């Protein structure tokens, strides 16, 4: 029987006041908004600023941040118990699900 695991995708929109505020607070790094937001996510920003949106496993453990993908206007955070691919038709990433919408 296949083990059921918990996965979570989060999209953080770049070019917003939220992203700009992070860049201004850490201007010494010389990173753009997307790069600064990505750096802060790897450093635990989500737990500090948005703890209410982070899911937990069925056993109550925290999910791990496995991957950050940068797009034109957002960054996609992939969290889970272990790294695994996300189904394109179940994704919230518009670059993933819009391609499958044409087949319907």
pLDDT (0 to 100) of residue 68: 93
Residue 22 in domain: yes
Low-confidence ranges of the chain (pLDDT < 50): none
Residue 47 in domain: yes
Residue 2 in domain: no
pLDDT (0 to 100) of residue 77: 92
Q: What is the mean pLDDT of the chain?
A: 80
Residue 74 in domain: yes
* Structural domain count of the chain: 1
pLDDT (0 to 100) of residue 65: 92
Residue 1 in domain: no
Residue linked to tokens 């505020």: 21
Structural domain for 94, as ranges: 7-101
Q: Report pLDDT digits (tens) over 71-86.
A: 888 999 999 888 888 7
Residue 51 in domain: yes
Contact 33, 73 (CB under 8 A): no
Closest listed residue to residue 49, CA positions, set 73, 71, 29, 77 = 77
pLDDT (0 to 100) of residue 1: 52
Residue 75 in domain: yes
pLDDT (0 to 100) of residue 79: 92
What's the pTM?
0.80
């Amino acid at each position: 029987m296949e083990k059921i695991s918990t996965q979570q995708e989060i999209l953080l929109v770049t070019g917003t006041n939220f992203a700009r505020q992070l860049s201004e607070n850490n201007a010494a790094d010389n990173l753009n908004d997307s790069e600064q937001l990505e750096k802060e996510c790897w450093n635990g920003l989500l737990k500090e600023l948005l703890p209410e949106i982070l899911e937990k496993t069925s056993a109550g453990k925290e999910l791990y941040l496995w991957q950050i993908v940068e797009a034109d206007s957002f960054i996609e955070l992939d969290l889970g118990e272990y790294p695994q691919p996300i189904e394109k038709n179940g994704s919230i990433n518009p670059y993933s699900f819009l391609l499958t919408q044409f087949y319907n």
